[in-house]
Structure 1
Amino acid sequence: MSDAGLPANDLAELRALVEADRERTAERLAFLTRDLTGILDSAALVATDDEHDPEGSSTAFERAHVQALLDQAREHLRQLELALDRMAAGTYGRCESCGRPIPVERLRIRPATTTCVTCAARSR
């Protein structure tokens, strides 16, 4: 059992979930980075003025949208890395707010979570 009271088989299952999510998120980051690079490269080839070009506003929106998705993916990857760190430290599965164990069912759904349902509801 970990310090959070998770049986070894649950911890192994959750580690596999986090690692699979990390791999998917890294792939998504790579895809979004290529997408943003393509948007920036195509914009550089055309001398446009976003303010006066009818396509400029949609290009700016697309660029901002992809950048926001990239930011979200980077943050999610960071949270997954922190979850793996907590696993290594033996603190994974313990609520950072109240200190009680986070139910395994919640961890299966949100493996990078740091709070129990009660504390998560309070923070909204």
Structure 2
Amino acid sequence: MTAQPPPGEGLSLADVVAALEAERADATAQVRELERVVAGVVEASRDSNADDEHDPEGATIAFERAQAIAVRDRQLARLREVDAALDRVADGAFGRCERCGCEIAPGRLLARPTSTTCVTCAALR
């Protein structure tokens, strides 16, 4: 990890890294659990009528599977965001807006440590 100044007053880089690592652990655990849920839904539907359109339970099974997959995919995206933030910490770019290059406010980093833009640039999106 490259030595760099802390992201802001009252917020140390070690605090940010700890928060990111905790978020990564949480997202990883959720992905694993959702993988189990998806596998369970698929396994439960294996012995049932494969025609979701005409099976009274088919719509529910398809919905449960789609919902679990969507939530899992969101957690995978969260993992990618956390990994990208940890990469920015390692290369010294953490805490700088990718659009304008200004410092991202410590409060924003506390609220959303994966932020890549300052509040001003985020509002422009």
TM-score strictly above 0.5: yes
Instruction: State the TM-score, normalizing by the size of structure 1.
Output: 0.92
CA distance in 2 between partners of 1:41 and 1:103 (Å): 47
Q: CA deviation at 1:7?
A: 5.7
Q: Which residue of 2 aligns with 1:61?
A: 63
Q: CA deviation at 1:119?
A: 0.8
Q: CA deviation at 1:54?
A: 1.1
Q: CA deviation at 1:6?
A: 2.5
Q: CA deviation at 1:30?
A: 0.5
CA distance in 2 between partners of 1:47 and 1:31 (Å): 26
Q: Which runs of 4+ in 1 moved over 2 A?
A: 5-9
Kindly tell me the number of residue pairs found equivalent between the two proteins. 122
Q: Which residue of 1 aligns with 2:47?
A: 45
Instruction: State the TM-score, normalizing by the size of structure 2.
Output: 0.91
In the alignment, structure 1 residue 120 sits paired with structure 2 residue 110:
no
Q: Which residue of 2 aligns with 1:102?
A: 104
Q: Which residue of 1 aligns with 2:24?
A: 22
CA distance in 2 between partners of 1:43 and 1:113 (Å): 40
Identity of aligned residues (%): 42
SS at match of 1:21: helix
The unaligned stretches of length 5 or more in structure 1 are none
SS at match of 2:122: helix
CA distance in 1 between partners of 2:28 and 2:122 (Å): 26
CA distance in 1 between partners of 2:121 and 2:46 (Å): 47
SS at match of 1:16: helix
Q: Which residue of 1 aligns with 2:86?
A: 84
The unaligned stretches of length 5 or more in structure 2 are none
Question: Over the residues paired in the alignment, what is the CA RMSD in angstroms?
Answer: 1.7
Q: CA deviation at 1:47?
A: 2.7
CA distance in 1 between partners of 2:82 and 2:110 (Å): 13
Q: CA deviation at 1:37?
A: 0.4
In the alignment, structure 1 residue 71 sits paired with structure 2 residue 73:
yes
CA distance in 2 between partners of 1:26 and 1:74 (Å): 8
